[in-house]
Amino acid sequence: MNKEIPELYGSMIFSDKVMRKKLPKDMYRALRKTIENGTHLELDVANSVAVAMKEWAVENGATHYTHWFQPMTGFTAEKHDSFISPSGDGEVIMDFSGKELVKGEPDASSFPSGGLRATFEARGYTAWDPTSPAFIKDGTLYIPTAFCSYSGEALDKKTPLLRSMEALNDEAVKMLKLLGNDTVTRVSTTIGPEQEYFLVDKEQYNKRKDLIFCGRTLFGAPAPKGQEMEDHYFGSLKPRVSAYMHDLDVELWKLGIPAKTKHNEVAPAQHELAPVFDTANVAVDHNQLTMEIMKNVAEKHGLVCLLHEKPFEGINGSGKHNNWSLITNDGVNLLNPGRTPAQNIQFLVFLMAVIKAVDDYADLMRISAASAGNDHRLGGNEAPPAIVSVFLGDELTAVLESIENDTYFGKQEKVQLDIGAHVLPHFVKDNTDRNRTSPFAFTGNKFEFRMLGSSASVATPNIVLNTAVAEALAQFYQELEGTKPEDMEKAVHELIKRAIRKHKKIIFNGNGYSDEWIKEAKERGLYNLISTPDCLPQFIADKNVALFTKHHIFTKDEILSRYEILLENYTKTVMIEARTMTEMLTKDFLPALNAYAGETAGHAASKKAFMPKLSTSSEEALIESLTEAYETITRGIKQLSASVAEAAGTEDALKAARLCHADILVKMEALRLAANEAEELIPDSLLPYPTYDQLLFSL
Ligand code: ADP
Ligand code: MG
């Protein structure tokens, strides 16, 4: 197998190599131009590509094609059409046209649109994104597409991502030119998303409605062993897990997804996969595919892959780390500290732009990680707090301080004209300590946004980050515009000085998990938006609407619709959980509890009958505890149901979401505790579900 991997790699994508082989030269060149510069694609080129794509797909066993898109459900969507076309004589030919390649018209009316469709056009269409390669999966040719309404409103996550990449490209190239860099014509965002997940046995999974309907356990007494021994992290892989990971890698490699790292994570049954980074657009598609393939491969191994942010209480949940940087068309990473003064100026401007962006739009960054699932993680001392801050490390912080105070970094001398323009020593990469408690950490040549939940689409934080950085660069540009080249160094120095004074409040190199930080962040005036309903209203705040509309990422209507969808999503998720919990407790757990009380009573009675002098006090105590638990849980269910009914009857989406957070989830937590306590009393053989012990330690 091993020697075949280079051959296997990317064998299921319509790659550059295939294009070159299959397309006439002029058509190939026209397509490359579209891919590289985003230029319009003529219909004759599209036709030519369609023919080549179909030929390649059919050769590789495909019978169908689908426009593949990312509606606001957070999942991907597909509708398959076969290539067959009756040729009139009772026979068929395999046919695929340029028109079918570039545009599709799925019935869009059942996808969430947050009211957009009512205001605008009812139909939606999908448009081919030639910058992300088409691929074959399960006998179907998948064509990555953007999904829009007929009047042009984005109904998906790809469209705004592409728009934000364009906005950032525009501002970054403008800035580089101003700084005297004439070689760069394009700047792209790069992303490397690290993906955490859990694996559980499928048979056990199938016995738990909470896992099936909610992706997380709603109760379950902790196993005697959790993650306290720290023996799972980087531990040796169990054979079943190892076989799974191997198959997963192979499936991903076939699709040209560069899966690179795999290891056990902190919690039992938790693992991680990281690919080599790629341009944002491709990396986002790849991450969506990775999540899907993780689940599919698990099925084949009798496993289930859980991507929920918090499948189990009491042990770590799963996140997704969004590693982010900027790369020029000539291959320079703009967040790599340079070796020459000119490179340093460039580096410092872009570094400062990111710091400013995160400070000005910390609320949007928080929103980009907000979901009902991720609320269980953030601030739980296993993931960053809900407060967004930037970690730079001591040395880079000192560099910026030296600029702020006009002192040479390292020498502490007064300087006037210099940007600390001694070449930044190449310390940064090796020395940035691994502060795992920071939500947004500089890690040597990129930033790592660590708030994101494991199931989230990586598109969202990158839409925010790209746009916010584009805005910061635009503002810097205004400040520097008109500066003579010989004065640029001084001007940049002054710019950074002003910017760092204004934005240093967002920089925090300490322990993000500590209570002191929460206090200090408040004093610094940083946002601490604890829950999803706390943070979502910031999405429609004036400054944020202004940001997105200025850079043509979202129209105001698109923002409002997304806001509605996010609120509804949150409420629906919590309501499903509440109903699942009610059902599991009522139909399975309480009967088990009752049965055990009955069994115990029967046992005590026969004991007495057998030998009257024997004491039955421990049975009596047990029955009392079981009965108490029964009553507490029954009462709790009643209260929960009342709250669910209230939320269901609440028209206002924000109010409903707040009810979910402040009332329903609180009642569910109380029920969880009661059920966990009761579970400890009941023998495993009488429990209707597999326990935490079984779920976490049976692989
Ligand atoms: P760690 O767990 O220490 O954070 P990993 O190696 O697991 O490190 O993940 C680092 C991720 O960052 C990888 O996906 C890697 O490809 C990605 N990465 C590295 N350089 C860049 C870059 N310039 N832009 C975006 N992502 C990057
Ligand atoms: Mg990481």
Report the nearest atom of ligand 1 relative to the CA of 277.
16
H or E stretch covering 614: none
Give the per-residue pLDDT at 114.
76
Comparing CA positions, the residue from 154, 138, 150, 166 lying closest to residue 80 is 138
358 three-class SS: helix
Q: Is 190 in the pocket of ligand 1 (CB under 6 A)?
A: yes
Are 145 and 197 in the same domain? no
Distance 510 CA to ligand 1 centre (A): 22
Over range 217-235, report the average pLDDT.
89
Structure tokens given for 438: 């920071």
Q: Is 194 in the pocket of ligand 1 (CB under 6 A)?
A: yes
- Which CATH number goes with the domain that contains 383? 3.30.590.10
Give the per-residue pLDDT at 120.
52
* Alpha-helical regions (H) of 585-615: 590-610
Is position 538 within any domain? Answer: yes
pLDDT in tens, 484-534: 999 998 999 999 999 999 999 999 999 999 999 999 999 999 999 999 999
Is pLDDT above 80 for 155? yes
- Which CATH number goes with the domain that contains 82? 3.10.20.70
Q: How far apart are CA 154 and CA 123, in angstroms?
A: 12
Among 75-84, 221-230, 653-662, name the one with the lowest average pLDDT.
221-230
- Which CATH number goes with the domain that contains 684? 1.20.120.1560
Decide if 302 contacts 203 (C-beta within 8 A).
yes
Q: Whose CA is nearest to atom 7 of ligand 1?
A: 274
Give the number of the ligand closest to the Cα of residue 320.
2
Domain boundary among 138, 156, 174: 156
Over range 536-551, report the average pLDDT.
98
Is position 192 within any domain? Answer: yes
pLDDT in tens, 603-659: 999 999 999 999 999 999 999 999 999 999 999 999 999 999 999 999 999 999 999
Q: Is 279 in the pocket of ligand 1 (CB under 6 A)?
A: no
Distance 145 CA to ligand 2 centre (A): 29
Give the per-residue pLDDT at 316.
94
Distance 525 CA to ligand 2 centre (A): 28
Distance 380 CA to ligand 1 centre (A): 24
Report the nearest atom of ligand 1 relative to the CA of 434.
3
Decide if 582 contacts 213 (C-beta within 8 A).
no
Is position 619 within any domain? Answer: yes
Give the per-residue pLDDT at 226.
85
687 three-class SS: coil
Whether the pTM exceeds 0.85: the reply is: yes
Q: Is 326 in the pocket of ligand 1 (CB under 6 A)?
A: no
Q: Is 84 in the pocket of ligand 1 (CB under 6 A)?
A: no
Report the nearest atom of ligand 1 relative to the CA of 333.
23
Comparing CA positions, the residue from 409, 415, 204, 184 lying closest to residue 303 is 204
Are 144 and 257 in the same domain? no
Distance 194 CA to ligand 2 centre (A): 6
Identify which has the larger pLDDT, 159 or 431. 159
Q: Which residues contact 299 (CB under 8 A, 6 or more apart)?
A: 202
Distance 167 CA to ligand 1 centre (A): 24
Provide the terminal-to-terminal Cα distance of the chain, rounded to the nearest Å: 26
Alpha-carbon torsion (575, 576, 580, 583), positive or negative: positive
Q: Is 323 in the pocket of ligand 1 (CB under 6 A)?
A: yes
Distance 171 CA to ligand 1 centre (A): 25
**CB atoms < 10 A from the CB of 311, how many?**
27
Mean pLDDT, the chain, as a whole number? 92
Are 137 and 195 in the same domain? no
Q: How far apart are CA 333 and CA 166, in angstroms?
A: 17
Is position 560 within any domain? Answer: no
* Alpha-helical regions (H) of 196-279: 202-205, 209-214, 239-254
Q: Which residues contact 2 (CB under 8 A, 6 or more apart)?
A: none
Give the per-residue pLDDT at 383.
86
Q: Is 310 in the pocket of ligand 1 (CB under 6 A)?
A: no
Q: Is 322 in the pocket of ligand 1 (CB under 6 A)?
A: no
Among 66-75, 111-120, 330-339, name the one with the lowest average pLDDT.
111-120
Q: Is 464 in the pocket of ligand 1 (CB under 6 A)?
A: no
pLDDT in tens, 251-283: 999 999 999 999 999 999 999 999 999 999 999
Are 98 and 172 in the same domain? no
Report the nearest atom of ligand 1 relative to the CA of 261.
7
Are 282 and 248 in the same domain? yes
**Domain interval for residue 577:** 570-697
Q: Whose CA is nearest to atom 17 of ligand 1?
A: 192
Are 302 and 213 in the same domain? yes
Distance 276 CA to ligand 1 centre (A): 7
pLDDT in tens, 653-679: 999 999 999 999 999 999 999 999 999
Are 456 and 600 in the same domain? no
Decide if 12 contacts 136 (C-beta within 8 A).
yes
Is position 132 within any domain? Answer: yes
pLDDT in tens, 625-641: 999 999 999 999 999 99
- pLDDT band, very low/low/confident/very high, at 432 (cuts 50, 70, 90): low
pLDDT in tens, 326-363: 999 999 999 998 777 777 899 999 999 999 999 999 99
Distance 271 CA to ligand 2 centre (A): 13
Domain boundary among 133, 156, 179: 156
Decide if 583 contacts 209 (C-beta within 8 A).
yes
How many domains are there within the chain? 3
Are 303 and 385 in the same domain? yes
Comparing CA positions, the residue from 216, 176, 21 lying closest to residue 668 is 216
Q: Which residues contact 490 (CB under 8 A, 6 or more apart)?
A: 416, 417
Are 144 and 194 in the same domain? no
Percentage of the chain with pLDDT > 90?
A: 81
Decide if 104 contacts 145 (C-beta within 8 A).
yes
Q: Is 191 in the pocket of ligand 1 (CB under 6 A)?
A: yes
Is position 269 within any domain? Answer: yes
Structure tokens given for 21: 């082989």
SS (H, E, C) 297-357: HHHHCCEEEECCCCCCCCCCCCEEEEEEEEEECCCCECCCCCCCHHHHHHHHHHHHHHHHH
In this structure, are strands 440-442 and 390-391 parallel, antiparallel, or unpaired? parallel
Are 448 and 511 in the same domain? yes
Q: Is 433 in the pocket of ligand 1 (CB under 6 A)?
A: no
Number of residues assigned to the chain: 699
H or E stretch covering 261: strand 259-264
Q: Whose CA is nearest to atom 5 of ligand 1?
A: 274
One-letter identity of residue 237: L
Distance 168 CA to ligand 1 centre (A): 21
Give the per-residue pLDDT at 300.
97
- pLDDT band, very low/low/confident/very high, at 122 (cuts 50, 70, 90): low
Is pLDDT above 60 for 588? yes
Are 300 and 358 in the same domain? yes
Distance 323 CA to ligand 1 centre (A): 6
Is position 562 within any domain? Answer: no
Give the per-residue pLDDT at 413.
47
Give the per-residue pLDDT at 396.
87
Are 307 and 199 in the same domain? yes
Report the nearest atom of ligand 1 relative to the CA of 276.
16
Q: Is 160 in the pocket of ligand 1 (CB under 6 A)?
A: no
Is position 381 within any domain? Answer: yes
Domain boundary among 519, 554, 589: 554
